Amino acid sequence: MKQVLIIDESPLFREYLRVKLQENGIEVNIGISTMDGVSKMRVMAPDLIILDYNLSRQGFMEVLRQKKTDLNTTNTPVIILAGQIDQNQLIELVPYNVKKVFSKPIKVDAILTTISDILGMPLTIDETPSIVEVHVNDSIIFIEIAKGLNRDKIELLRLKITELIELYEIRVPKVIIMLSDMKLNFADAPNMQKLLNTVLQSSKAKLRYIRVLTKDDFARQFIQGRKEYEDIEVVTNLQYAMEGLLALPDSSLEHAEKKAEIIGDRILRAKTKESSEAMVLKFDTESKNASFELMKNSLQNCTIAIIDDDFIIQEMIKNTFSKTGATVYAYSDGEAFLNIVGSMKFDLAFLDLNMPKIDGLQVLKTLQFMNIRFPIIVVSSNLQRDAMLKVIQLGIKSYLIKPLNPEDIFRKSMEILKSNF
């Protein structure tokens, strides 16, 4: 029996890989830290090591050094999972038989294919084209699924929902499931049931707090025709779905009226881009209980931009990241930011919509024209219907409403920057 050692500090990702590999007859051991991983590596002499680059620089290299000095593991292949890694660091990995480096967020179908190739044994992988995105705004969990229903991706969805509920400490879970660019039929019924049951079990949301946004006739008939789902409302308009959920009692929703302006026809009609690898689950994060040191390791090499003419907002965001080691640059208008963006690499940006000279919407359009892509969190005190529709059309799905507070800034940033898969 093939043996795989996973040394990764993300408990949910470890668990997903463990279950998936064991289902395929592979023995899996877990290392939760450098010391634990080295100890288990010596005992089991694995056929493959999957190693998290974010163990800390010292711990990560110690695992590789110990592997190289042990005759039983010196030739063992390694897969590296990394948030970001530069060319010089890649060169350092050559002597340690590193076969593949995956940048986070991980394309899970790609890593499973690589594991299959290295071990020389087939793995059962659902290859149904599917794109899944999960994010939280105003304590509502937004789940967008496009192109098709993939059972492996639905299993990952269970982990995403769990992490986000823990991160945001959501007391009353409310869920909008958006099925876009999708034509389902009777053959999709088992996966549709798996999707709904996964959302219900992982979110623990009451049926009346769940909306399914779709124009697909089969999806509507499937939900409305089953007694166990009879309180789930099927809608075709995102504005209506949000108005209903935001009207439910929850003292944390201070800007319900503004958020209800978001509308959903674009999401349901949009054609998704073709991709050779089926899906990325974005907006992942470590749980709220993760140590500050682990978060610091993830952020210390990050470069963050603030594009906002409000000096107080600039200082608040700077202070939020002051102890993480991240590098933060502030720009008071869109023109100043666009003058330098082509010569710098950013991992994250906070973008105000209302600014002098060049506003936030024009910044987004210009970045799209320049084909410059990185995560952007829109920040505004005035998210009205027309503005938000334009923001959504430009690919932005995360936003914060002024006035801001450091906790919301940090949580939203960790949701994006700590993405594992």
Phi, psi of 300 (to 5 degrees): -65, -25
The whole-number average pLDDT for the span 163-185 is 92
Q: Which among 211, 127, 112, 195 has a CA at the least distance from the CA of 161?
A: 195
The whole-number average pLDDT for the span 71-99 is 87
Least confident of 173-182, 191-200, 327-336, 408-417: 408-417
Least confident of 245-259, 342-356, 368-382: 245-259
Give residue limits of the domains in the chain. 3-119, 131-269, 292-417
Which residues make Cβ contacts (< 8 Å) with residue 241, sequence separation at least 6? 176, 211, 213, 233, 235, 264
Quote the DSSP letter at residue 270.
P
Of the spans 246-255, 283-292, 332-341, which averages the highest pLDDT? 332-341
Q: Rounded distance, CA 175 to CA 127, Å? A: 26
Model pLDDT for residues 229-255, shown as the tens digit of each residue = 999 999 998 778 887 887 776 544 444
- Same fold: 3-119 with 292-417: yes
The whole-number average pLDDT for the span 269-277 is 40
The reported pLDDT for the residue numbered 249 is 64
Whether the pLDDT of residue 296 is over 80: the answer is no
The conformational region for residue 120 under phi > 0 = left, psi -120 to 50 = alpha, else beta, is left
Question: For residue 386, what pLDDT band results from cuts at 50, 70 and 90?
Answer: low
The whole-number average pLDDT for the span 103-110 is 82
Model pLDDT for residues 353-363, shown as the tens digit of each residue = 889 889 999 99
Model pLDDT for residues 212-222, shown as the tens digit of each residue = 999 999 999 99
- Average pLDDT of the chain is 84
Q: Which among 175, 188, 75, 203 has a CA at the least distance from the CA of 129?
A: 188
What proportion of the chain, given as a percentage, has pLDDT over 90? 52
The reported pLDDT for the residue numbered 263 is 38
CATH code for the domain defined by 292-417: 3.40.50.2300
Q: Rounded distance, CA 228 to CA 224, Å? A: 9
First-residue to last-residue Cα distance in the chain? 27
The whole-number average pLDDT for the span 203-220 is 96
Question: For residue 380, what pLDDT band results from cuts at 50, 70 and 90?
Answer: confident
Question: For residue 351, what pLDDT band results from cuts at 50, 70 and 90?
Answer: very high
The fold of 3-119 is Rossmann fold (3.40.50)
In DSSP terms, 211 is beta-bridged to 176, 233
CA contacts within 13 A on the Cβ side of 163: 29
What proportion of the chain, given as a percentage, has pLDDT over 70? 84
Question: For residue 341, what pLDDT band results from cuts at 50, 70 and 90?
Answer: very high
Whether the pLDDT of residue 91 is over 90: the answer is no
What count of other Cβ atoms lies within 10 Å of the Cβ of residue 345?
Answer: 9
Write out the CATH class of domain 131-269: alpha beta
The whole-number average pLDDT for the span 83-98 is 82
The reported pLDDT for the residue numbered 297 is 57
Question: For residue 57, what pLDDT band results from cuts at 50, 70 and 90?
Answer: low
